Amino acid sequence: MSAAEIQELVSKASNLVSLPEVSLRVNELANDPDSTADEMGKVISQDPALVARMLKIANSAYYGLSTEVETITRAIAVLGTNKIRDLVLSTAASDAFDGIPNNLITMQDFWHHSLYCGLLAQILAKKSKKIHAESIFIAGLLHDIGQLLMFNQLPEKSHEAILLLMEGSEELETYEAERHIFGFDHMQVGAALIKSWKLSPVLEECVEFHHEPQKAKEFPAEVALINIANAVAVMADFDSMSEDDEIPMINPISWELTGLSKEDLPEAIKKAQDEIKEIESVLFPT
C-alpha cells in the first residue's frame, strides 16, 4: 500500500478522530519556549469542560497537592506546561476514539496497555542520559494509535491479521502480520494520523518506528525507549514476565541507543505498576 493510500485511510477517518483545536494549540504553546502559562491558560479557558477536567485531575489524589487548585493558571503553574500538555493530549486522544465502533479490542484494554507504556517510558527516560524529548509520555501513550484506526476502518482484514498471529505457525509480531495481510502496518497508519494532528516530529517518529528503532532518523534514542517500554508492556499484558525473562520484542539496538540495560527494568516496572491504577482512574474514569 502506498503512502497516498495510507493518507486516504487517515483522511477518511479525520472527521471521526480529529483532535480539538484547543488541544492542538496547547501542544504548540508547550513546544514554544517563549510562551507563558497565562497564554496556555487563556487557550484552555476557551473550553469550559476541559477546564473542569484539568482542575479535577490537578486536585486528584494522584498529584497529592497540599492546597486546592482553583484556576487553570494555577494548575499550569503547579504542574508545569509539559504536564498540562500531556494531560490535555491524553484526554483529547481518548475522547477522539470514544464511541468509535470496534469489535476487536476493548478500549479499556487498549488504553491500559498504552498508559503502561507511556508511564514506563517516562520513568525509564529519567534513567537514560540520552533522552531529551519532553513528549516521551505521550509517545508511549499514542504508539499504537494506528491500530484503533485500522480496527475501525478495516475490521475484517484486522481480524485476519489477528488470526494469523494466533495461528502461531511463524514467530510473527503484530506489525509483521499486518504487513502480510494489508501490505502496511499500524506504525505507518499511526504516524500519518499523528502528522494529520500536527503533533511534534518526535511523536511521529516514535509511532512510526517503535518496532524498528534502527530505522529512526532524527530521534533514535526516543524511538528505542518506546521499543523497550512497549515490549515490557506487552509482556505485562499477558502476566508473562519474571525478572529473569528475556524480552524478545526488544530490539538489541535499543539498549545501545538509550544507554539503558535490563537491570534498569525491575525498579521501573514496579514504579509503573504502583502508579498505573491511580493515573488510569484520573485520565480514563469509567
CATH code assigned at 126: 1.10.3210.10
Q: Does residue 11 sit in the same domain as residue 30?
A: no
Q: Does residue 72 sit in the same domain as residue 147?
A: no
pTM for the complete prediction?
0.91
Q: What is the DSSP letter of 278?
A: H
Q: Give domain status of residue 150, yes or no.
A: yes
Q: So what's the pLDDT on residue 237? A: 62
Q: Give domain status of residue 152, yes or no.
A: yes
pLDDT in tens, 128-158: 988 876 789 999 999 999 999 999 888 899 9
Q: Given phi > 0 = left and psi -120 to 50 = alpha, else beta, which region is 99?
A: left
Q: Does residue 229 sit in the same domain as residue 162?
A: yes
Q: Does residue 270 sit in the same domain as residue 207?
A: yes
Cβ-based neighbour number of residue 151 at 10 Å: 21
Q: So what's the pLDDT on residue 246? A: 60
Q: Does residue 45 sit in the same domain as residue 169?
A: no
Q: So what's the pLDDT on residue 286? A: 67
Q: So what's the pLDDT on residue 169? A: 58
Q: Give domain status of residue 94, yes or no.
A: no
Low-confidence ranges of the chain (pLDDT < 50): 244
Q: Does residue 173 sit in the same domain as residue 206?
A: yes
| Number of domains the chain is built from | 2
Q: Does residue 195 sit in the same domain as residue 170?
A: yes
Q: Does residue 187 sit in the same domain as residue 116?
A: yes
Q: So what's the pLDDT on residue 144? A: 96
Q: State the Cα–Cα distance between residues 156 and 108, nearest whole angstrom.
A: 21
Q: Which domain holds residue 70?
A: 18-80
Q: Give domain status of residue 208, yes or no.
A: yes
Cβ-based neighbour number of residue 160 at 10 Å: 16
Q: Does residue 245 sit in the same domain as residue 113?
A: yes
Q: Does residue 70 sit in the same domain as residue 166?
A: no
